[in-house]
Structure 1
Amino acid sequence: MVDAHQTFVIVGGGLAGAKAAETLRSEGFTGRVILVGDERDHPYERPPLSKGYLLGKEERDSVFVHEPGWYAQADVELHLGQPVVAIDREAKSVRLGDGAVVHYDKLLLATGAEPRRLDVPGTGLAGVHHLRRLAHADRLRQVLTALGRDNGHLVIAGAGWIGLEIAAAAREYGAEVTVVEREPTPLHAVLGPEVGQMFADLHAEHGVRFHFGASLTEIIGQDGMVLAVHTDDGEEHPAHDVLAAIGAAPRTALAEAAGLDLVERAHGGGIVVDTSLRTSDPDIFAAGDVAALHHPLFDTRLRVEHWANALNGGPAAARAMLGHDVRYDRVPYFFSDQYDVGLEYSGWAPPGSYDQVVARGDVGKREFIAFWLSEGRVLAGMNVNVWDVTETVQELIRTGARPDVERLADPSVPLESLLA
C-alpha cells in the first residue's frame, strides 16, 4: 500500500531509472515512486541494440528491464513518452511536457546520453543513422537486412565500441562496410594503439575496410538518398547508408537550466555528483551515463557510459535517496561481442595514463588478458575469450596491486596469487 508521505521522482526511463525504482521498493519505501521517460517504450537495456537484438538473435521483448505489468504491481507510476521540461528546485517540483507539475521530496536524474551528430553537409538524407534508442535499432535491423540482400555499402563514422559492434553485425548480414576513423587505430581513446590494432586486424579479416586518420566532411546524395561520403583527405567512399558512431553527449540540459554543478564539456561533461551520487542540490541525485563522479581509485572525475554503471548506479542512488550510507566506487566495467570474440574490460587507462601494456596468453589466437600499468600498478585489464577472471582483475585494480610483470604475463601462474 502506497502512502503519500513522500514522493520520489525519477527522470529517465532507462536501466538506471528502472533499477532505482525497483530498489526503492525492495528497500521498503512506501511513498510514491514516479518514473518519467520520454520514450514510449517501457524501460529497456541498451547493449542488445548493438548486439543480440540487432543481429536478430534476441526477441524484442527480451530487452525490457521488467515485464510491463511489474510497474503496476510495484506501484510505480509510469509517465512514458513524456519529457520533463523543467525543474523548480525552490518549489521542489518538475514540470512535464503536457504542463503537469509534479512535486518531489527526492529527485533522481537518470537522463542518459544522446548520440553526437555529424556536423557535415548531407546529414538530413534518409540513409543517415544513429543508434541509441530501441526505435533506432528497429530501423537499423531493416537497413542491414536490405544492405546484405543487395550487397549494399555501409559507411560508419567512428571506430569506437558502437561502431565496431555494428560493423560486425553488418558483415554478418552480408553488407559491405567501411569505417572512417580519425585516430590511427580502433578504440584508440580507450585501449591505446597496442591493443586497438588487434581490433583492426579482427575486422579486416572479416572484410571490413578501415580508413584511418580521416574524418567525414560531406555525405553526397541524390533524391534524398545517400550515394557516397567524402573525407578530409580528399577520398570518396561509396555508400548507401551512413552510421554516425562518434560518441555520446550527456543529457544535462535539465540540470544546467536548474543551476546544478556540471563538468565542463571539454572534460567529458555530466552532472557533478559525490560518492553517494548526490548533486550540488542535497535533494537531487544523478546516476548512469549523465553522472560524473570523482573516482577515488583513479583520482579523477569519471563519467562512465556503460551498462554496468547504469545497472549498479541506479540502485546506489536509490539507497542514498533513502538516507543510507552509500559510497559508489565500483571499478568501471563493460563488455563487447564482435564475431567470435567476446571480451570484458575493467578499469580506466586512457592513452597517457599508462606506461606499459602486458599481455597474458595468446594474442594471436585472441585468447588473452591485457593489463595496462602505470609504474607497475594495474590500472585496467581486458580479458579476451578468457572467462571467469573479471573479479580477480578488478581486485588487482582496486587494491592498487603492483605484481611482478613476468608473473603477470605467465598464464601458468594463478591470477589470484598475484593479489598476495
Structure 2
Amino acid sequence: MTAFDVLIVGGGHAGAAVAHHLVSLGYQGKVGLISAEEHFPYERPPLSKAYLKGEVEAESLAIRDAQFWSDSKIEMILGETVESIDAGAHSVSTSGGAVFGYGSLVWAAGGSARRLRVTGEDLDGVMTLRTLDDASAMKAILASTKRFVIVGGGFVGLEAASVLRGFGIEVTVLESQSRLLQRVTGPVVSDYFLRRHLAEGVDVRLDATVTGIEGADGHVTGVRLADGSIVDADAVLVAVGLVPAVGPLLMAGARGTGCVDVDSFGRTGLPDVYAAGDCTSFPYPPHPDGRARIESIQNAAEQGKVVAEAIHGAERVYEPQPWFWSNQFDIKFKAVGLAFGYSDALVRGDESSDSFSVVYLRGDTVVAVDAVNHMRDYVGARKAVGRRVDLERLADSGQALKDVVVGDEVGAAT
C-alpha cells in the first residue's frame, strides 16, 4: 500500500489549490492527488465560454503546467475515483482496486452534472457541460447541429446559449422556474438576461417542465414537455446543476446532507479528514442557517488555501466574500455577496439599459451587489458588501459605492 502524508481527492480548482499552496508553504511531506479525469488540473470557467467558442485551446487551460507537478514531486494518480474510505485505518480504496494510506486526507472531489432522470436521457446527442471532455464533445458537433435545446436557465446554460447563437444555431432554453437565474439573483437581473437572450434570438421558455427526451435510431430528436408538446432538437444540453460527490465520505461517517459539513478550517469531523470546494457546506454567518455551500472558483481556491494552511499547522478561519462572474454575448456580469435574505433591492443606473447595478440591502447593510457591465460598482462592492451605507447617497448612481459606506463590517453582513 502506497502511503502519503497528504492525499488529495479531486483534480479541480480546490484540489489544485491545496496542492499548490502546500508547495508554496514549503511543506516537505509526501503529497498525492487522485483525479477521476485523465487530465492535469485545468480551468473550468472557460469551458462554457472561450473554449466552446474556439478562442482558446485545451493546453492553455492548465492551472499549472506539467513542469510544476513534476518539480513539486506531487504524485498524480489520474483516471481513478475513490470508492471507499476507512477513517480508522487512514486509507482509501479506488475504482482500480488500489489502496492508498494517508496522514491527512483532503476531499475536493467536487461533483457530477445533475441529471433529469427522464426517459431518453441516454440517447446520443444528450450531453452535459462540466468537464473538458464534455466541452470537447459539445464543441465537436457545433458545425453539424442546427437546433440545440438547453435544459436549465442558470449560468452554464445561458453561457452556452450565447456561444451557440454565435454559431448561428437555433437555441431553445427550457427553465423550470418562473425566471432565469432564479436561484442566484433578483428579478431585475433575471428580467435583463431574459430580454437580452430573446433579443439575440434565443427561444426562452419559463415554467417549462421536461418529462422525457424523444429519439430515433438511438439519437435525440426532441424534448417532451409536461403540456405534451415536443421541442425539436438535434442535440440537448442538460445544465441543471451539480450533485456533490460525497458518497464515500458520508458512508465513512462524515456529517452532511447531500454535501459534507466542514468547520471554519475545512475539517470534516472525521480524524485528519478535510474537505474543500463545491461539495462542502461551511460556516457562513450571513446565511439564515449559518452555513452555505457555494459553487464557485473563488470558493474552491480560497477554501483550498485554508485547508492547506490547517494541515501545515497555521490554522486560519475561512471568512469568504463570495464573488462570481458570467460572460454572455457582450454582457459582463459580476456579483459580490449572496443575494438572499435581503429586504430591498436598489437599482443604480437605468435597468432598461446595458449598464446598471443592483444593490441588495438588509436595512442599511449591503448584502450583495450585482453589476451588469458596470465595473465601477463591482469594484466598489468589494468594500460595501457586509457594511452599512448612507441610503440617500447610495441612491445617487453618480456616487461611487465605496464612498457611501458609513460603518464597519456588521457581523459579516448580519
2:410 — aligned with what? none
Q: Distance in 2 between matches of 1:105 and 1:390?
A: 42
Question: How many residues matched?
Answer: 404
Show CA shifts across 1:155-179 (max 9, x none): 1111011110011111011110011
Instruction: Indicate conservation of the 8 Å contact 1:343/1:383, yes or no.
Output: yes
1:243 — aligned with what? 237
Show CA shifts across 1:363-392 (max 9, x none): 222211211112332111011112254453
Instruction: Indicate conservation of the 8 Å contact 2:384/2:401, yes or no.
Output: no
2:412 — aligned with what? none
2:399 — aligned with what? 413
TM-score (structure 2 length as normaliser): 0.94
Q: Distance in 1 between matches of 2:275 and 2:249?
A: 10
Q: Aligned Cα RMSD in Å?
A: 1.6
Identity over aligned pairs, percent:
36
Q: Distance in 2 between matches of 1:389 and 1:74?
A: 40
What letter corresponds to residue 290 of structure 1 in structure 2? C
1:385 — aligned with what? 373
Of 92, 108, 133 in structure 2, the residue corresponding to residue 94 of structure 1 is: 92
Show CA shifts across 1:283-319 (max 9, x none): 1111010111120233521111111111212111111
Q: Distance in 1 between matches of 2:324 and 2:251?
A: 31
Secondary structure of 1:166's counterpart equals: helix
Q: Distance in 2 between matches of 1:74 and 1:154?
A: 43
TM-score (structure 1 length as normaliser): 0.93
Q: In the TM superposition, what are the counterparts of 1:88-237 in structure 2 within 5 Å?
A: 88-147=86-145, 152-237=146-231
Q: In the TM superposition, what are the counterparts of 1:264-303 in structure 2 within 5 Å?
A: 264=257, 269-299=258-288, 300-303=290-293
Show CA shifts across 1:33-70 (max 9, x none): 10110110111121011111111111211111111121
Instruction: Indicate conservation of the 8 Å contact 1:369/1:383, yes or no.
Output: yes
Q: Distance in 1 between matches of 2:204 and 2:3?
A: 58
What letter corresponds to residue 335 of structure 1 in structure 2? W
Q: Distance in 2 between matches of 1:183 and 1:286?
A: 31
Show CA shifts across 1:95-121 (max 9, x none): 223322222111100000111101111
Instruction: Indicate conservation of the 8 Å contact 1:370/1:383, yes or no.
Output: yes
Moved more, 360-369 or 234-243: 360-369
What letter corresponds to residue 178 of structure 1 in structure 2? T
Instruction: Indicate conservation of the 8 Å contact 2:4/2:100, yes or no.
Output: no
Instruction: Indicate conservation of the 8 Å contact 1:361/1:409, yes or no.
Output: no
Show CA shifts across 1:82-138 (max 9, x none): 112211111111122332222211110000011110111111110101011100000
Q: In the TM superposition, what are the counterparts of 1:256-267 in structure 2 within 5 Å?
A: 256-262=250-256, 264=257
Secondary structure of 2:359's counterpart equals: strand
In structure 2, the gaps of 5 or more residues are 407-414
What letter corresponds to residue 110 of structure 1 in structure 2? A
2:82 — aligned with what? 84
What letter corresponds to residue 281 of structure 1 in structure 2? L
Q: Distance in 2 between matches of 1:26 and 1:272?
A: 27
Instruction: Indicate conservation of the 8 Å contact 1:296/1:329, yes or no.
Output: no
Instruction: Indicate conservation of the 8 Å contact 1:184/1:193, yes or no.
Output: no
Moved more, 56-65 or 197-206: 56-65
What letter corresponds to residue 158 of structure 2 in structure 1? L
Instruction: Indicate conservation of the 8 Å contact 1:34/1:79, yes or no.
Output: yes
Instruction: Indicate conservation of the 8 Å contact 1:229/1:239, yes or no.
Output: yes
Of 303, 306, 311 in structure 1, the residue corresponding to residue 301 of structure 2 is: 311
1:362 — aligned with what? 350
Instruction: Indicate conservation of the 8 Å contact 1:5/1:31, yes or no.
Output: no
